[in-house]
Chains A and B, each alone.
Chain A
């Protein structure tokens, strides 16, 4: 064979198995810290332990959130229409399956979608021809809709009201 002794080979054999598991445990310990970062970034709320350490974090109570209860059309052919908001998403457009059927020639069939997430409502453009505008900014992705901020779809303008 060659000059490597039997003992060395055996030691290397077990050393290799050990190395495999050292790799796995280093990966898992990396992941543990990684998950912690993820948790903080997702919730953004201090844990009880962090509050104990830094009491100033708990001092500011969260501002009272006013929930949107109604969707009101303020401009356009359907002006004055009010739609009560439940927990389900709302489809806006000219198509008959839309929740609020817009009789607006400048709106697309499936124009935009208004959906609740957490305590807020988000608006998302569904690839409409003329676009959806949130406070005069054209939507490029789903954005939260605050109370009283106008959303323009074609000639129709809607708002969320408490």
Chain B
């Protein structure tokens, strides 16, 4: 075989350069916001900017030490998005509001957790051991907001929050990671069975019921979220994740067809049964009708004000800090995309969408490059979760689809979402590290058997195998 392989390059210096550019975007946006307000570049601005820069460089150094071959563009993209989000949330803060500082605190916490994930986990394949624990954890996280003691009650029509002391947290955000780990672990071990076993009806092959049991459980979980927590966005996200991962694992288009049919059918039934879903759909189709615009619960005022704002922004935007996004409710979280469209214009909004697209392609590149099925599926699932969130949010704000309550990754105000997305970035970086790094040709070292349930006999690698008489006999 002819060898023209080039040695894998870490490309960490390129990453450093791009991080400097990304920080220039984030801090530049912050500076523009400050210049356009009465404060000017005060000590708060310098303090917050340096905190973000220090955190980004610390992350970079950790990658140099622990994941040398990680993808060099993922971190700069995320730093740019997060920096831009910080500036925009800061911009929306009225006097006495603390959302901007709170977001910065959560950014630092989330980056620290992500660094810890990379530092201590080292290899994403370890997560495969936690396949079923992840399923249990997902179920627990999703049920938590309904537990009376710690539930934060119904906020804005959805009960997805828990309260721990003074803090509120959305456990569903973390659940999307644990669900992705479960799907990846389960499908990578049972892919062949789902593909091969089962009976064929017409042109489609249906898997055996027992192979799909855990998958159906996961599907029921996502329906349960819709019914009991009244959270349309998360339900769509979980279900989309489920469809995509099973499609990626089996490459059967029939899954996608069935999934889309179920989503549309489920959406139709939900719009008949639940008033909040019906309101969402009505304010999507009849957004500009005066009575729908002014309706108190479930009106379309938010969407339409966002659309007016984006129209006002035009091609180049009104400039940071010069628009009137205060007219739009939740301009710093749900409607942050409308805020970008207003103040940075179509050019700025497309830049942000482009950053998301690049992040998504890097996630899929890592999935293509990595050699283990679990890593492939996990990278696909996690990057698709980010992409689907972007689609649902931006599509909702621009009135392509009904508006649902999902957060814009890295941009929107909200600590739990930031934390979850930074952990996803940490996992993607780790997977891309194995994908781009040199192939490990040394035998994997087996750990000595712990208290084995069925008397596993393992010989240390390199030794001659034990004679069959020492091996375990079945029955």
| Chain A residues engaging chain B, CB cutoff 8 angstroms | 1-2, 4, 9-10, 12-14, 16-17, 19-24, 26-28, 30-31, 34-35, 37-38, 40-41, 44-46, 50, 57, 60, 62, 89, 94, 97, 105-108, 113, 129-131, 133, 136-138, 140-141, 152, 154-155
A154 contacts which chain B residues (CB < 8 A)?
468, 471
> In chain B, residues 61-76, which have Cβ atoms closer than 8 Å to a Cβ of chain A?
71-73, 76
Size bracket of the B interface: 35 or more
Bound Cα distance from A50 to B454, whole angstroms: 55
Query: In the bound complex, do residue A10 and residue B11 qualify as a contact, i.e. CB atoms below 8 Å apart?
Result: no
A131 contacts which chain B residues (CB < 8 A)?
457-459, 465
A10 smallest CB distance to B (angstroms): 7
Query: In the bound complex, do residue B28 and residue A94 qualify as a contact, i.e. CB atoms below 8 Å apart?
Result: no
Query: In the bound complex, do residue A23 and residue B22 qualify as a contact, i.e. CB atoms below 8 Å apart?
Result: yes
B192 contacts which chain A residues (CB < 8 A)?
89, 113
The 10 closest A-B pairs by CB, nearest first: A20-B351, A13-B319, A130-B471, A140-B444, A23-B21, A133-B465, A27-B73, A105-B473, A46-B4, A106-B471
Q: Nearest CB to that of A133 among chain B residues?
A: B465
B357-397 interface code vs A (CB 8 A; 1 in, 0 out): 01001100100010000000000000000000000000000
Q: List 12 A-B contacts (CB under 8 A).
A: A4-B40, A16-B29, A17-B316, A17-B317, A23-B76, A24-B355, A38-B365, A40-B4, A41-B5, A89-B192, A131-B465, A155-B468
Bound Cα distance from A133 to B348, whole angstroms: 58
Query: In the bound complex, do residue B473 and residue A22 qualify as a contact, i.e. CB atoms below 8 Å apart?
Result: no
- Residue of A12, A23, A45 with most partner-chain B CB within 10 A: A23
Residue B1 at the A interface, CB < 8 A? Answer: yes
Q: Which of A35, A45, A50, A106 contacts B472 (CB 8 A)?
A: A106
Query: In the bound complex, do residue B3 and residue A44 qualify as a contact, i.e. CB atoms below 8 Å apart?
Result: yes
B312 smallest CB distance to A (angstroms): 15
Given A34-B73, A113-B192, output 10 extra A-B contacts at Cβ < 8 Å: A13-B32, A16-B25, A17-B316, A20-B348, A20-B351, A23-B351, A37-B6, A60-B2, A106-B468, A154-B471
Residue B80 at the A interface, CB < 8 A? Answer: yes
Query: In the bound complex, do residue A140 and residue B443 qualify as a contact, i.e. CB atoms below 8 Å apart?
Result: yes
B241 smallest CB distance to A (angstroms): 25
B421 smallest CB distance to A (angstroms): 18
B446 contacts which chain A residues (CB < 8 A)?
140
B362 contacts which chain A residues (CB < 8 A)?
31
Residue B347 at the A interface, CB < 8 A? Answer: yes
Bound Cα distance from A107 to B473, whole angstroms: 8
Q: Nearest CB to that of B466 among chain A residues?
A: A130
Known: A27-B358, A130-B471, A140-B444. A152 touches B456 (CB 8 A): no
Residue B262 at the A interface, CB < 8 A? Answer: no
A90 smallest CB distance to B (angstroms): 11
Known: A2-B40, A37-B6. A19 touches B25 (CB 8 A): yes
Bound Cα distance from A108 to B40, whole angstroms: 72
Bound Cα distance from A152 to B9, whole angstroms: 39
B1-44 interface code vs A (CB 8 A; 1 in, 0 out): 11111101101001001100110110011001001101010000
> In chain B, residues 60-98, which have Cβ atoms closer than 8 Å to a Cβ of chain A?
71-73, 76-77, 80
B253 contacts which chain A residues (CB < 8 A)?
none
Q: Which of A16, A21, A28 contacts B28 (CB 8 A)?
A: A16
